[in-house]
Amino acid sequence: MGREFVEIFDEWADSYDASVSGQDEEYAAVFEHYDTILEEVAAKATGHTIEFGPGTGNLTEKLLVKGLNVTAFEPNNAMRLRTLERFPALNISDGDFLDFELTEQPETFVSTYAFHHLTDEEKAKAAKIYASKLNAGGQIVFADTIFETTEAKLAQWEKVEQQRYHNLLEDLKREYYTTIPVMNGLLDEAGFATSFKRLNEYVWLIHAVKK
C-alpha cells in the first residue's frame, strides 16, 4: 500500500523543504515550478478536501488559505508531526491512499508527489475507492511524476544515467512511476473522465472528475 517507502521520509523530514526548493541538484528538475504545481492543485480543489501525504504541509497551507475544509492522512509520523507544528488545528491522521476513514463526504481528493508509491494495481483499487466516496462531479486532483509512454520512461532513465544522478535513477527504478495510458485507463474503469497537463519535465497534473 505504498507504506514500504514510509521510512524514507524519516530521514527526509528535515531536508524535504530544501529539496523541493531546488537545493538538491539531482532533483531540481523534478521539483521545478514546485510552488506553481501546488497552486495548480489547490486552485481546482473544492468543498471538503482529502489530502493524502501532506508531508511538511506545503499544499495543506494553500488549501487552508483558500478556506477549504481539509482532512489529511499522512503515514509517516515525522512528517505528520511537522504538519501539525504548522497547523495545530488541522484534522490529520495516520492513513494512506488505501487505508483511511472518513466521517464526512468529500468533494475532492488531492495529493502531490506521492501516488507513485502505489503499484498500478493499487492505483486502480484506490481509484475505485475514491469513486465510491464521491458524488457525480467529485474529483481527484493529483500532481505526480508520470510518463507519456513506457518508451519515454526508459528514455528518461537513460538521460538521468548520463547525468550521473544515481540517487534519482535509483528512485525512478525503485518506485511505481506509471504512464499516462495506464493512469487514464484505470481512472476510466473507475468511472472518471480524466485530463492531463504537463507541469515540468517530470510532473503532470492529473484531474479526474467522476462521471
DSSP β-bridge partners for residue 192: 210
From 196, 63, 52, select the one nearest 111 (Cα to Cα). 52
Region label for 191, one of left (φ > 0), alpha (ψ between -120 and 50) or beta (otherwise):
left
Buried b (16+ CB within 10 A) or exposed e, 144-162: bbbbeeeeebeebbeebee
pLDDT in tens, the chain (211 residues): 445 555 554 555 555 666 677 788 999 999 999 999 999 999 999 999 999 999 889 999 999 999 999 999 999 888 899 899 999 999 999 999 999 999 999 999 999 999 999 999 999 999 999 999 999 999 999 999 999 999 999 999 999 999 999 999 999 999 999 999 999 999 999 999 999 999 999 999 999 999 9
State whether the Cα torsion 57-42-198-74 is positive or negative.
positive
Instruction: Give the predicted TM-score (pTM) of the model.
Output: 0.93
Which amino acid is present at 42? A
